[in-house]
Amino acid sequence: MTDTDGVKMSLDALADMSRTILTRHGLAPAHIEAVTRTIVAGERDGCASHGAYRLLVCINTLKTGKVVRDAEPRVAEPAPALARVDAGGGFAQLAFERGLPLLVQKARANGIAALAINHCVHFAALWPEIEALTEQGLVAFACTPSHAWVAPAGGTRPIFGTNPIAFGWPRADSPPFIFDFATSAVARGEIELHRRAGKAIPEGWGVDADGHPSTDPQAVLQGAMLTFGGHKGSALAAMVELLAGPLIGDLTSAESIALDAGAGSSPIGGEFVLAIDPAGFLGAEAAAHIARAEALFTGITDQGARLPSQRRYDARARSMRDGVVLPRALYDDLQALLA
């Protein structure tokens, strides 16, 4: 099972390790299952920064006391096409699972619907939530602020979170078309992985505390990250703040990091999720038009370009067959959580 470079594990073994660690640190059983599902899914899909590594982040947040370990999500219906889940200060995963059936039902009944998750602690990727909706045949969009770590285009001080945007489109005979990316130049987890590995980061990822461009991961973590795509990425980051912040009565990234007050917990606030039923606009013709989208995907892949989640689906196929390999240092850090 073990070699010098890494530790090979089955997905079931990883899930068991996750449960054991989370139990040891006092998370309630329903949350343990929901969190473990996203941790294992991330590692399975080759997302190093959102896989087993996030257990360290999660335990750190538990230690800060900034997350409610046994929060019971409460679902509400503020408007005919809107659903809302008060996560009660717990992790977002269970709140999403509890709100999902109502969101699906409302999207089917009205053609479109949105779900707000409020008062949650968020540390996961968004694509697991998107996949839960594409599995129901729905088109999906989600976004969430984080902590204020990212400067706006033309500025040098953090105001935005890494503010991911995710979108999904169901496909009949293939895994869904899904993208999920930070509006920062990279995910903060990537910079943290560089710091752990002692490697410099590329230019364009961030500036130091004085606002000067830097390739030192530690300096950028203490300064400000930059958005992708200049003023366009910056505009999208602002949209995420607004949609998943004030629009749903929840915190901006600046308010989240102020609340954290240096404790180093995961971001606290809200998430905005949108679901659209293709049958809403198209009725019985929906399947034919959804199928027509396949020509778009073929037009992309036929010229040697890749669809957004292809690498993830390839990793998934490998992991389902062969299991995953955790870096030795990460494995040791996780084992230390059981000491």
Indicate which residues carry an active-site annotation.
49-50, 190
Q: Which residues bind its own copies (CB under 8 A)?
A: 78-82, 84, 109-114, 116, 139, 151-157, 159, 167, 169, 177, 179, 181, 228-236, 238-239, 241-243, 245-249, 252, 254, 274, 276-278, 280-283, 285, 289-290, 292-293, 295-296, 299-300, 303-306, 308
Q: Minimum distance from CB of 303 to its own copies (Å)?
A: 4
Q: How far is the CB of 295 from its own copies (least distance, A)?
A: 7
Across the strands, what pairs with 115?
83, 273
Q: For residue 74, what are its two tokens?
A: 């409460």
CA proximity to 275, closest of 140, 128, 118, 146: 140
User: How far from chain centre, in Å, is Cα 190?
Assistant: 13
Q: For residue 327, what are the β-bridge partners?
A: 6
Say if residues 56 and 333 touch (Cβ distance below 8 Å): yes
The half-sphere exposure of 258 on its side-chain side, counting CA atoms within 13 A, is: 8
- What is the token pair recorded at 21? 């660690």
Smallest gap from Cβ 201 to its own copies, in A, equals 17
Task: Give the shortest CB-116-to-its own copies separation in angstroms.
Answer: 6
Q: Measured from the CB atom, is 9 or 86 closer to its own copies?
A: 86
Residue 156 or 218 with smaller CB distance to its own copies: 156
Contact 118, 86 (CB under 8 A): yes
Residues 6+ apart with CB under 8 A from 297: 171, 174, 177, 307
Of 114 and 326, the one with the shorter C-beta distance to its own copies is: 114
